Amino acid sequence: DAKTTQPTSMDCAEGRAANLPCNHSTISGNEYVYWYRQIHSQGPQYIIHGLKNNETNEMASLIITEDRKSSTLILPHATLRDTAVYYCIVLSGSARQLTFGSGTQLTVLP
């Protein structure tokens, strides 16, 4: 599976959009980009995933560049409850194991 690179930490003001970047320059054609988050000592929470096209759901938007080498997770109106570690994962067609890297610690500030 392709390796991902994320910033270690980010801050965001409450009510503003949080934009979390992820680089996955070695991604291959059949690999999806997944985003999960984990609040301290809780189970990981699925956020969104995509292959080529931008995706949006009730939690977030996922913007994938045309060359698919990077993506951005957007939380449109961050709240204090969005403070968590956010993981960007690339999964191949046969992979079942989720491998979390170090992720980005997002802190939403009041």
Q: Which residues bind another protein (CB under 8 A)?
A: 32, 34, 41-46, 49, 91-101
Q: Least distance in Å: CB of 12 to another protein?
A: 24
Instruction: Indicate the residue among 31 and 82 with the shorter CB distance to another protein.
Output: 31
Three-state secondary structure call for residue 28:
coil
Three-state secondary structure call for residue 70:
strand
Q: Least distance in Å: CB of 33 to another protein?
A: 11
Q: Least distance in Å: CB of 14 to another protein?
A: 25
Residue length, the chain? 110
Quote the CA–CA distance of 43 and 32 in Å, as a whole number: 21
Quote the CA–CA distance of 84 and 13 in Å, as a whole number: 14
